[in-house]
Structure formats: structure tokens, C-alpha cells
Amino acid sequence: MIMKTHNIFFVFVLTAISFFLFPLSAARPDEHSARAILDHIDRMWRGKSSTGTYEMTIKTAHWQRSLRIRSWTKGLDYTLVRIEYPKKEKGVASLKVKNNLWNYLPKINRVVKVPSSLMMGSWMGSHFTNDDVVKESTLADDYHHTITFSGSRDGQDVYEITLTPKEEAAVVWGKIVILIQQKDLIPLSEEFFDEQEKPVRKIVLSDVKTIGGRMLPTKLNVIPYDKPGEFTRIIYADLTFDIDIADSFFSLRTLKQKGD
Amino acid sequence: MWLVKLAWRNLWRNRRRTLITISSICFGLVIALVFIGLGDGTYGTMIDSAARLGTGHVTIEHQRYRTSLATRYTLKDIRPIAETLAGIREITGWAPRVAGQAMISTSYGSVGAAFMGVDPAQEKENTLFIKKMVSGRYLKNAGGRGAVIGTKMAEQLKVTVGSKMVITANNLQGDISAELLRVVGIFRTGSDMIDGYVLQIPLERSRKLLGMEPEEVTQLAVYLDNQRQTDSVIATLKMSLAQVKEAAVLSWRQVMPELAAYVELDGGSNYIFQVIIFIIIGAGILNTILMSVLERRYEFGVLLCLGMGPASLLLLILTEAVLLGLLGVSVGTVLGLACNYYFTVKGFDLTMITPEDMDISGVALDPVLYADLYMDHLVIIVSLVFLMVVLIGVYPAVKAARSVPIEVLKKGR
Amino acid sequence: MLVYLKLAWRNIWRNKRRTLITQFSMIVTLALMIAYSGLVWGLLNQMERNATLLGPGEIQIHVPGYRDDRSIYKVIDRPDTIISSIEKNGARAASRLQGFGLVSHDENSSGAQILGIDPAREKNVTRFHRHLFRGAFLAGANEVIVGSKIAVTLDVTVGDELVVVTQAADGSIGNDIYTVAGILNRIGEEIDRSAIMMSLADFRDLFSMGDVATEIAIRRVHDRQELGELRDVIAGGIPALEVKTWKELFPAISDMIDIADLSIYILFFIVYLAASLITLNTMLMAVYERIRELGIMMAIGFRPLQVMTLIFVETFYLTLCAVGAGLVCGVGLSAYLTRYGLDLTSFSDGFSFAGILAEPHWFAVTNAQTVLPAAVFLVIISFAAVLYPALKAARLKPLEALNFN
């Protein structure tokens, strides 16, 4: 409901992307332990930046809408997101600097700081939850990971990595199961379970294309199990990595610009 | 002395009337004592409950905290304050508290909440939450990750004992911080607000969440043996803590003004009710005494003729009134105290007619009323009733003393 | 018969003093009972008024299922048509909209219940406009009224700017700036902590909604009208919607008022008991004093039944006068309290009891309900009290009566 969790989405995306940022011609599949895969990704990902445009479609029981969004990220500390379409919301933007969140509302020309105690609900009504964003922790830091399955499923050779939260990790999930294509180490899906191992939601990645110089899934679909028929879908239009972008770009001033 | 003997015999000559008068006095006194006793007991219980569920009979906090409730107004080091508290006899215990607003999330959603970081060791004797547990247990370890939440919150987040939750808040530096918690117990106070909005977590965990120093707190809740001593303890504390910068000492009345308002108002209406009863009964007693004097006019006439001075006559009638008063008051006091005792032990049970969850501005009400008559109230009421009886006797006494003997004798009966 | 009447009357006034004394306590008792009833009924009325007029209204209309989750999608279409038909039925109604939002002022923010109201109509149904602590009720566009506690949380005062962000009904981000026009007094926890009121038009803009309402609140024009009947009449016209009285919607509050009712009856009972005791006492003595006199009457030929009749007629006169005077004093006192009330504000401020505002200034009501029962009761008790001694007197042999006492 309330716009607070733009970052959720972003960190999520970053984390998701982090999976596919590694050389295609890496070591042979069986040398990839879970830790190795995640470490590799983390190492490759840290300190990098990106900018891109994507379309997000949300369908709920009462409405369906599509937004075109432009984003800039640097490391895990800085994120700027801006809506470019539809016209009604053009210019609405969110800025995350470390653990702080601000929203800009162009219609009233005001910046609203989002307090943690109110980050209820999702960003823009999407199915991303707050847990996805507030902690910028990576999956590697907060979870134990093991490869629980290596073999063929649905005609593909896949790795299944199961993540279980570490003792003191401040995360709401009981378990996360990630399915990765062995061939290209491209993630196929991510499923989230509560502590009783009941599945709560699933993210499906597909449409692998060359984008920003890499082979990546360009479509992410979030499906909540408790709300049948609803989904949030993100399709990347373009993505550029390792751009030259200063920390100072991520400021309230940039937040307030109405966009290119 | 003979006056007293005569007065006594006079009273018992008309046994019926005397008994009726005494029973009126008795009735009024018993009503008064029972109502005041129940009132005192109920208010006392409510205040104690509210204090134990909230921030104590006396609260010590940063002087700016109350007006803005911002987490950054803290007491940096409680050690010097703790020393002072140890030296005051009326204080039965105290507990450090860290308070703030946060979001609690689970796999199924999030709610906004107010959290209280507490030290279980120091809460054990004082807090009511322990008694209101419906499942699980209370917190044990000040450094742990346990949390106790209310039934309503448990419903909203779809959690039970053992479930995990993530608490997220803005810390003192303004950054967002999060900690993992596990539900160890679920309580039910009967107040929707507390059951749906408040949770208790270990003190050190809350300090970590907010980025506080090891001895820093938001407030100190101080518990007293007897809530009536609140004002005197506050006066003492204010003096002793004068050199602790920026510390404010507040009474429960300032922290919970609505509760204070209820107690005052209900007390006020109780008082009015008593006055009405007293007037009604007083009128009846006046009636009795006056009648008794009037119908004995012939007899008084004779006495006056025989040489008894008007002053003696006046005294005689006053003595009768005094004796009536003493008798009525004694029996009434005994009965009144007996009723109060019964209600102190057994309570006045209203559970039949009260709905489930009643509260006064967020403080849950116990449907069983217990009496607790304060000594000074007892003394006041009994004295007032006695005084009233004697005063009522004055008019008839004066009237009788003034009557001219011849006139009376002429008129006969 | 005439003889009795004359004799009885003369008997009474022969001993003026005794008669007056007897009547004195009866008059005081009656007057106090009337005044007390008045105060107590007044208080109950006030509580009921506050329960309804500072919140839900007396009757509400919703879409079935709305109350389970207060979803902004369960709305009543074209509420104005419903409202005009209600007004034709002789009641007052107002539409409302309710949603959730984030409100902020400078660096402070809070979640809030955003309430869209029809400023003009709402005044006819509830009394919020009379409970403004500061400022004025909604007048212009983009104005809001803020609850007392949330005003403190946000640190706003009249004239300040408030930013409101919500998720609109079409999923987009609703946002706008409003000016604080007024701050409410303490009303009840929920409203104090989380209510932000704006006009229906502003709400519809913010939430991208059309000509709909989440709730219609209704109030009677005449308090004597039976609430249940009105509900049925209204419900008949809109079978698809749910129409309920406030008692059905908030049984806990209704129960609580009933409890207050009950405790008041208990108190009444005690006051009546005291009054009975005194009256009994009084009448008893009145008869016993005169047994000797009655004995003489019987000695000269009055039959027992005649003596009893005489006593009863005397009692009748006595009571008549006492009740008359008692009524005058009682109604007078009650009327004074109805006008000026009993001001207990020096004792305490208001507070909320189970969510209902209790004000410290009590007004009595004066009507048949407060006056008649007390008077009737007094008469009954008086006669009952006389019965025993009258019988006893009638049964005595004249000699015994002469030597009685």
C-alpha cells in the first residue's frame, strides 16, 4: 500500500542479478559448491554499479497496472528509482542511502522520509515485501547454504540450493530454495517458505537474453501463494553495468529531479 | 453520671423507636463504609494494575521525553539513580525500560507496534504480564531473543509460541536497524490496545536495536508498596535526583492522566451518592428524635417543675442523642467492617454482568471488585456519622429546654 | 364517608408539629430521589449520546462483509440517492469513506486512518464539530482535522501542512498536501491516535474513487423514535445492503452502557431502601403515638374497621401533601440540574471509558421517568408502613389501647 519498499524490490533485484554475474566459462559445474557459487557472485557484485529500465506489471484482485521504471544502483548502499510511465506518476522517485529511505512526490513537490515502523505492505502495491529491502544483507551472509540436489529436472540439469537462516539472522523466512541451471548457472526460480516449511511465495526467472553484455533472465515473476491470481512481473528493457556514477548522485537533489 | 443513666433508661423505655433509630444509623454507616471500601479497593487495584502494566507508580525519564515521545530522549546512565532508589523504604522495586516504535514482520505480513525492552529479572516481582500469560512463558534472559506478544498481535501475524519475528526500527542514529526475535509467550490483558500493539523484548536486545549504551534507558519504572505514598516518594526523589541532569520524576497521574481522571470522577460521584444517603437518613433520625422529644413534653414539664434546670434538660436530651449515636455507630462500624472484610477476601463479583473486555483508557478492568478500606477514611466516616447524630439532637434538645413548664402542664399530653 | 374525610383532615392538622415532622423526611426523601434519578438518567443519556454521536452515529449502512476487513473495494454505489430517501423518511444521514495512509509533517510521520466525510451533513449526524480543541471544522478544500494524539506525534498545529500518501483504489500512489484546519479534543483512543478527517471530495481525489461510500451514518431527528423501526424502514428500501443499529454493531459498548444501567439500578435500590426505611419509621411512629387516642375513639363507639379507615384516610392526606411538596422541591432541584448541571470539572477532566468519552459535567433530565416512579413508590411505602400498626390498633381492646406504651 504505502510506498516505502522500493528498495525491497531493488535489493531483491540486485540479489537476483548477483546470481548471474560471473564468467560463463567458469570452472566445471561439479566444482561449484553452494558457497562457492554465492561467494563468487558476492565478490563479483560488490562495488559495482548499474543502471537500467524495466517494466513492472502488477495484478491484484482489484486492479492491474504497468509501470515503466528507471533505476540506478551502486553497491548495496545506494539506489535511486524513478517512475517514467504512466504519466500520472511520472517523476515519483525513491532514494535509498544505506538504511534510509525517502520518497519524492512530484505532484506535490515534497520529499517524505519513510520511517521503519511504517513500512507495512509493499512497494507500489507489488508483491515484494518489506523483508526484501530493509536489510541489505545478501543471501550469503544471513543463510546457510547447501546444494540439496544436482541432476535433471524437467529436462534440464539443475542445481538446487537450499538456504536456511543462520541463528541470529533477522530474516522472516524459514527456508529459501533456489533452482539454478547447471549449464549457465542461470537461476530459474526462488521459492520462499515460512518456518513450518509452508511455501509462501515463488519468484520465477525466465526469458534469458543478452543484456548489458551478459546473458541474463530478463523476466521475473513473483507469485504469492496466499493470493491466487495475483502476481508482480518485471521485464527488463535495458541494463548497463559498471557505469561511472558518483556517490553524490544518490542525493535528495537528484531525487527531486523529474527525470530525463 | 445520673444524667447518663436517665438518658439510657429513657431510650429503652421506647424500645421500638430506639431500635428503629439505631438501625437507621447502622444502615447509613454500613452503606457508606462498604461503598468507600469498595471504591478504595477498586481504585487501588486499578492504579496498581496500570502501574505494573505500564511505567510504575513513579516514572523517571528524560524531561523532554513526555512531550515528544522521541526515542532520542534517554537517561544515559541509570547507576546513580539506582543507588538513590535503593535507599528509599517505600520502593519495593524498580525496572529499567527501553521503549520505542517499531515494525514487526513475519512471512505473512507486518504490523506497527510499540516495544518495551525489559530486564526479566527485575520484572519478575512487579509486572502483571507474567500473570496474564495464556501460552508459553514470560521472558527469562535479558540478553536473549525472546518476545512476548498479545493475543491480537499473534492473530494478525499468524504466529504462535516458537515462531520467529523480525523487529525493525529507526535507531538513535536515525538508521534502520533490525533484530531477530522469537515468540516465547503470548499474553492476554483484556485491553485491545495492549494485546494488539505492545510487545516486550529483552532489555539488551532493545539496546542493541536502538544503538544504546550499556546503562542507557528510556525510563525507570518504580514500584511502591502502597500507591498512596506516591506523592511523598516523588518529593523525596526530586530532591535526591536534583543533580542528575535532565531527569524528570513523574507520578502515575501524569503518565496516565485518563486513569487519574476516572478515579477522581468516580470518587466524586461516590461522594455525592453518600451525601444523598446521609441526608435521607439524617432526616429520618431528626424525625425520630424530634418525635420522642415532643411526645415527652409533659414529662419534661414535670421535670422542669421539679427543679431540673433547662441546661440539664438540654444535656439530657443531648446525652440521649449521643448514646443513640454511639450505639448506632458501634453496631454499624462492626457490621460495616465485617462486610468490608468479606469483600476484601472474597470480592464483589460482577463477572456475571460484565462483558469480556472492559477498559478505561487502555487499562483493563477486573470484574471482581475488592474492598480495601483505608484507616483514615474509616475514622472520617464514623466520626461524621456520629457528629451528625449529635448535631441533629441539638434542635430538639434546645426546643425542649426552652419550653415553659406551666404551658406544658396546662396542655397536658 | 364525608365524616371520615373531615375528621381525618382535622386530626392531621390538630397536631401540626407531628404532621409536619412526619412529612419533612418524606419530602426530603422524595425530592432527593427525583434529583438523583434525573442526574443518573442524564448521565446514561450522555454516555449513549457520546457513544453514538462521537463516532458511529445511531444506524449505519454498509456493504455486507465490509466490516470484516474494511476493504476500500466494498463500497456503496451512489450513496446520495440512498441519503435522499432516508431524509424523506425523516432522519439525517451522511456518507463516509475510510482508508489507510501515511501522513507526515516535516520529519515526523505516522500511519493513519483517513476518513472522508461530508462536512455539512456530518454535522447533523455526529458531534465532532463541537469537540474541536483548536481551530475550526472543515471549510475549504484540502483541509484536514486531526485527532488529539496523532497531532502530538506529528507535532502539528492549526495551519501546518500535512502530506498524505496512500495506495489508491486503482493501485497508483495517491498523494497530496493538506492544511490542518482543526485538532479534535480527546474523544476515544482510536480516533485520538489515528484519525485524519477530510472532505469526501478530497478523499475521492486522493484515492481515485468515484461516487461511492464505504459507510452511511444515520441519526434520528426525534429521540423518541424507535431505533429498530427506523432501521427496518431504511433496510426495506435497500435490500442488498446491511443496515444495523449501533447496538448491533458495537455490542460491547452497548453492554457496557447496560452495566452502567445496572449499577445505577443497584444504587437506586439502595436509595429507595433508605427512603423506605425512613418512611416506614415515620409512619410507624405516627400511628403508634396515637394508639391511646385511637383507644379512646374505640371506647366511645368506633368500630375497628372504622378506625382503620380513618387511619388510612389520614395517611392519604398526609401522603398527598408530602408528595405534593416533594414533587415541587424535587422537580425544582432537578430542573436546576437540568439547566446548569453538576459541574465536576474541578474534580477531574474527561476520560474515555471503554472507548466512550465521559465528560465531567453532568446534566440531569426531568421527565415522567424520573419523577413518577419516585412519587408512586413513596405513596406505596407510606401505605404499606401504616398497615401493620393500623391493624394492630384496630385489634386492640380499648382498655389495652388506653394503656398502651
- pLDDT tens track for A108-137: 998 888 766 555 556 667 787 654 654 445
| Pairwise CB contact (< 8 Å): B105 & A195 | no
Q: Which of C75, C103, C150, C172 to substitute to test the interface with A, most A CBs within 10 Å?
A: C172
| Pairwise CB contact (< 8 Å): A117 & B166 | no
Rounded percentage of chain B residues whose pLDDT exceeds 70? 92
| pLDDT tens-place string over residues A18-64 | 333 332 233 334 445 777 776 655 543 344 788 889 999 999 888 99
| Interval C134-142 mean pLDDT | 90
Note the pLDDT of residue B148.
93
Whole-number Å distance between alpha carbons of C43 and C358? 9
- Mean pLDDT value across chain C: 82
Residue ranges covered by each domain of chain B: 2-50+260-411, 64-245
A171: in domain: no
Whole-number Å distance between alpha carbons of C2 and B89? 80
| pLDDT tens-place string over residues C146-172 | 998 899 888 899 999 999 988 888 888
In this complex, the chains that touch C, judged by 3 or more CB pairs closer than 8 A, are A, B
Instruction: List own/partner pairs for C295-302 with CB under 8 A and 24 or more apart.
Output: C295/C396, C295/C398, C295/C399, C295/C400, C295/C401, C295/C402, C295/C404, C296/C398, C296/C401, C296/C402, C298/C396, C298/C398, C298/C401, C299/C398, C299/C399, C299/C402
Whole-number Å distance between alpha carbons of B412 and C403? 16
Which of chain B's residues have a Cβ under 8 Å away from the Cβ of A98? 175
Note the pLDDT of residue C151.
92
Which DSSP symbol is given to A112? E
Q: On the CB side of A106, how many CA atoms lie within 13 Å of its CA? A: 17
| pLDDT tens-place string over residues C59-118 | 999 999 888 778 889 999 999 999 998 888 888 999 999 998 889 998 788 888 899 999
pTM: 0.74
Q: Measuring CA to CA, which residue among B18, B50, B21 is closest to residue B262? A: B50
Most trustworthy range by pLDDT among B189-193, C28-32, C328-332: C328-332
Chain pair B-C, CB pairs under 8 angstroms = 133
Note the pLDDT of residue B376.
82
Selected residue with higher pLDDT from C305 and B181? B181
pLDDT band at C318 (very low <50, low <70, confident <90, very high): confident
Rounded percentage of chain C residues whose pLDDT exceeds 90? 22
Task: Select from A98, A99, A170 the Cβ nearest to the Cβ of B166.
Answer: A170
Q: Measuring CA to CA, which residue among A167, A128, A200 is closest to residue B181? A: A167
Note the pLDDT of residue C98.
93
| Interval C297-323 mean pLDDT | 82
| pLDDT tens-place string over residues B265-287 | 777 777 778 888 788 788 878 87
Asked if residue A189 lies in contact with residue A223, where contact means CB atoms within 8 angstroms, the answer is no
Contacts of C311 (CB under 8 A, 6+ apart): C287, C294, C386, C390, C393
Note the pLDDT of residue B125.
63
Asked if residue B97 lies in contact with residue B118, where contact means CB atoms within 8 angstroms, the answer is yes
Q: Domain count for chain A, please give it.
A: 1
CB atoms closer than 10 angstroms to residue A37: 22
The residue of chain A with its CA nearest to that of B171 is: A116
Note the pLDDT of residue C405.
53
Q: What is the CATH number of the domain that holds A12?
A: 2.50.20.10
Q: Which of B101, B175, B176 to substitute to test the interface with A, most A CBs within 10 Å?
A: B176
Task: Select from A100, A134, A200 the Cβ nearest to the Cβ of B178.
Answer: A134
Whole-number Å distance between alpha carbons of B99 and B197? 13
A65: containing domain: 6-139+201-256
| Interval C125-148 mean pLDDT | 90
Q: Return the beta strands (E) in B163-251 as ranges.
A: 164-170, 176-187, 198-202, 219-224, 247-251
Hey, which residues does C101 pair with through a beta bridge?
C112, C166
Q: Measuring CA to CA, which residue among C171, C168, C232 is closest to residue C206? A: C168
String of b and e for A208-238 (b: at least 16 CB within 10 Å)? Answer: beebbeeebbbbbbbbbeeeeebbbbbbbee
Three-class SS state of B103 = strand
Cα distances from B121 to residues B124, B140, B232, B343, in angstroms, run: 6, 7, 27, 33
Q: Answer whether residue C367 shows pLDDT above 50.
A: yes
Which of chain B's residues have a Cβ under 8 Å away from the Cβ of A135? 178
pLDDT tens over chain A, length 260 residues: 222 223 333 334 444 443 333 322 333 344 457 777 766 555 433 447 888 899 999 998 889 999 999 988 887 778 888 999 888 888 888 888 876 778 889 999 988 887 665 555 566 677 876 546 544 455 667 888 888 888 888 888 888 989 999 888 888 888 999 888 887 777 888 899 998 899 999 989 888 888 777 777 889 899 999 888 899 998 989 888 888 888 888 888 888 876 54
A87 touches chain C (CB under 8 A): no
Asked if residue A220 lies in contact with residue A204, where contact means CB atoms within 8 angstroms, the answer is yes
Whole-number Å distance between alpha carbons of C157 and C182? 8
pLDDT band at B243 (very low <50, low <70, confident <90, very high): confident
**Is residue A86 reached through a cis peptide bond, with omega within 30 degrees of 0 on the bond before it?**
yes
| pLDDT tens-place string over residues B27-83 | 888 888 888 888 888 788 888 877 877 788 999 998 888 877 778 888 888 888 888
The residue of chain B with its CA nearest to that of A192 is: B107
| Pairwise CB contact (< 8 Å): C172 & A112 | no
| Interval C250-265 mean pLDDT | 71
Whole-number Å distance between alpha carbons of A224 and A202? 7
Of the listed ranges B229-233, B250-254, B404-408, C327-331, the least confidently predicted one is B404-408
Q: Measuring CA to CA, which residue among C216, C248, C218 is closest to residue C90? A: C218
The residue of chain B with its CA nearest to that of C348 is: B261
A44 touches chain C (CB under 8 A): no
Selected residue with higher pLDDT from B372 and B407? B372
Rounded percentage of chain B residues whose pLDDT exceeds 90? 15
> Which runs of consecutive H residues, i.e. helices, occur in C54-160?
66-69, 79-88, 119-125, 148-154
| pLDDT tens-place string over residues C201-211 | 999 999 999 99
From C60's Cα to the closest Cα of chain A, the distance in A is 25
| Pairwise CB contact (< 8 Å): B103 & A195 | no
Per the structure block, which three cell numbers stand in for B244?
542528575
Note the pLDDT of residue A204.
92
Note the pLDDT of residue A199.
93
A155: in domain: no
Note the pLDDT of residue C63.
92
Note the pLDDT of residue A14.
43
Contacts of B345 (CB under 8 A, 6+ apart): none
A11: in domain: yes
Whole-number Å distance between alpha carbons of C111 and B350? 38
| Pairwise CB contact (< 8 Å): A65 & C170 | yes
| Interval B351-372 mean pLDDT | 62
Q: Answer whether residue B333 shows pLDDT above 50.
A: yes
Please identify which residue in the block is written with the cell numbers 415532643.
Answer: B294
Which of chain B's residues have a Cβ under 8 Å away from the Cβ of A121? 110
